[in-house]
């Protein structure tokens, strides 16, 4: 089944970076857990009679293989994230209004709040809020048919 291209609002389109970043961070946490589990192979109880031997080496090998494959998936995801981030930065800069560019960059690329952006820009919160609304509208006018990055 092919992925349907859904038109997004500018806010939803630009917010994709944060969603992708969060997914990558979660995957990195999972990878760390996998590594920890792989390193903890457990001990052998020599005091009990052996009924059946289980090849610990096979489990270790499969754990390392899964870890390596997942690590490669995460690296590919990071590469796609970097490409998406560069694309969005380029698209934001096409607005040609310094205030629009600053606000959208701070909020959607640096993941800052409007309050933080207003503080850093030495502007009132209401000014930044209004610029944000206008910048999103302008972004949608310049970039028609916004869809999911991937």
Please count the other Cβ atoms lying within 10 Å of the Cβ belonging to residue 142: 12
Which position has the token pair 């970039």? 143
| HEC profile of 110-149 | CCCCHHHHHHHHCCCHHHHHHHHHHHHHHHHHHCCCCCCC
- pLDDT string in tens for the chain (150-residue length): 445 567 899 999 999 999 999 999 999 999 999 888 877 766 555 666 665 555 555 777 888 889 999 999 999 999 999 999 999 999 999 999 999 999 999 999 999 999 999 999 999 999 999 999 999 999 999 999 999 998
Rg (CA), the chain: 23
Q: What is the pLDDT of residue 2?
A: 45
pTM of the model: 0.81
For residue 48, what pLDDT is reported?
A: 64
């Amino acid at each position: 089944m092919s992925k349907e291209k859904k038109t997004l609002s500018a806010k939803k389109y630009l917010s994709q970076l944060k969603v992708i970043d969060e997914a990558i961070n979660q995957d990195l946490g999972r990878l760390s857990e996998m590594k920890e589990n792989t390193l903890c192979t457990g001990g052998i109880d020599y005091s009990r009679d052996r009924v059946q031997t289980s090849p610990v080496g096979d489990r270790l090998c499969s754990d390392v293989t899964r870890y390596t494959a997942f690590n490669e998936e995460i690296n590919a995801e990071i590469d796609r994230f970097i490409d998406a981030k560069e694309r969005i930065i380029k698209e934001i800069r096409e607005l040609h209004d310094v205030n629009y560019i600053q606000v959208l960059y701070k909020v959607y690329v640096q993941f800052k709040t409007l309050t933080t952006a207003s503080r850093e820009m030495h502007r009132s919160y209401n000014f930044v809020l209004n610029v944000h609304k206008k910048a999103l509208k302008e972004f949608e006018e310049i970039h028609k048919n916004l869809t999911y990055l991937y």
